[in-house]
Amino acid sequence: MSILTVAKTLVTLLPIISEVITAVEAISQAGTGAAKKKLVLDTIKTLYDASQPAVPFDTLKANIETVVDSLVAYYNTIGVFVKTLKQAA
């Protein structure tokens, strides 16, 4: 598998990853980072696998995890995510 194929796939996934992170953050409590990350990765895998991709998810998983971590750190830095405790419904 070429680096170009992997790169194109990751760039294509970037908006989807961002949307999934934002959705999970909106429904989650502060302080549940590991659980939120698992939910994000599981959701992305489900969506990705449903698209019958050319590149297997497991080939991209480490790269996707890095993108997730980087986006969350960036969103925290610019204040998109405000760390407050939300009460469970």
Does some domain include residue 57? Answer: yes
* Residue 34 within a domain: yes
Is residue 86 domain-resident?
A: no
Is 87 within a domain? Answer: no
Counting the structural domains of the chain, the total is 1
Instruction: Evaluate whether residue 83 is within a structural domain.
Output: no
Whether 45 contacts 18, CB under 8 Å:
no
* 85, part of any domain: no
Of the candidates 62, 45, 47, which has an alpha carbon nearest to the alpha carbon of residue 6?
A: 62
CA neighbours closer than 13 Å in the CB half-sphere of residue 24 = 21
| Domain membership of residue 58 as a residue range | 3-78
25 within a domain of the structure (yes/no): yes
pLDDT in tens, the chain (89 residues): 788 988 999 999 999 999 999 999 988 877 788 999 999 999 999 999 999 898 899 999 999 999 999 999 999 899 888 766 555 55
